[in-house]
Amino acid sequence: MRELVIRRLIGSLATLFGVCVLVFGMVQALPGDPARVIAGLNASPQDVQRIREELKLDQSLPAQFSFYLKGVAVGDLGVSARSGRSVTMEIVDRLPATVGLAIAAVLTATVAGILLGILAALRPNSPLDYGVSAMAIGASSMPTFWLGLLLILLFSVHFQLLPSAGMLTWKSWILPTLTLASFSLALIARVTRAAMLEVLKQDYIRTARAKGVEDWLVISRHGLRNAMLPVITVIGLQFGQLMGGAVLTEVVFSWPGIGRLLVDSIFARDFPIVQGVILVYGALIIVINLLVDLSYAVFDPRIRN
């Protein structure tokens, strides 16, 4: 298990270094002078030169990348060109809202998706099975922002039951969570159904039932546990996709997270914020994938050997 953890950590660090290279190269590949863009069209040459020196843009590319890596290592992602605050503090202020929304969406999608997948697998080719399949196809085909707008029109405008923006009360979490969880819920339900159908055909399931073990124990201890590996993989991948989908969801619902911060910073040409948010997104996805890899050993002891 220790060797498994070490290998995964080394791979994660290498991936994180690659993300740093891509984020650094993204700004370098932008047309024009970043210092001029940040300073504004009406800035004096002295102001542009000052910003260029502050951002180390007057140095060579290897020197700039070295300064960038040193800053990332100590948590210094630069200064926002729009607010003048530390990029790290700007992200830290917004990060809990995004992570909280993503966790709420993952939990909702996981619980509902696994439950629906199990029910569909226990009644194959039944109306329930067809209903779950139809729901999964519809949810996975609908764009996130379009579903969000439909939910706002239905529950906020028509019925006036739930708020359409902000995160002032617990009710504000319902619509963004459902919007963000819809696609993942459908995919988890389909994967759980397929995995459970395969597991329920195995000999040890028939043996457990022949011994008189109650169905719920057969399903939970023998069936679901052995069907969880592909489900865990999907959940881990979906968490990364939810972090990306949160950008559109936060814009639709005016959610004060880093996704909305990223969009606002792109329009404001605040490149340090854009760099920092993309780097944080990449780091979060890497950490989630690492946890998913390590969780395999919990459900499949053979991986620990």
Q: Enumerate the domain spans of the chain.
A: 103-258+279-304
pLDDT digit string, tens, across residues 197-235:
887 777 777 777 777 767 667 776 667 777 777 787 787
pLDDT score at 299: 61
86 phi and psi angles, rounded to 5 deg: -65, 135
Q: Give bridge partners of residue 257 from the DSSP assignment.
A: none
pLDDT score at 33: 66
Structure tokens at 77: 């992602």
pLDDT digit string, tens, across residues 281-290:
888 888 887 7
Band (pLDDT 50/70/90 cuts) for residue 297 is low
Return the SS3 of 77. coil
Return the SS3 of 269. coil
184 phi and psi angles, rounded to 5 deg: -65, -40
How far apart CA 247 and CA 95 sit, in angstroms, is: 12
**Which amino acid would we find at residue 218?**
V
Q: Which residues contact 190 (CB under 8 A, 6 or more apart)?
A: 117, 133, 136
Residue linked to tokens 């529950």: 155
Asked if 172 contacts 97 with a C-beta cutoff of 8 angstroms, the reply is no
* Among 275, 257, 253, 256, CA closest to 266: 275
State the fold for domain 103-258+279-304: MetI-like fold (1.10.3720)
Q: Is the pLDDT of residue 123 over 70?
A: yes
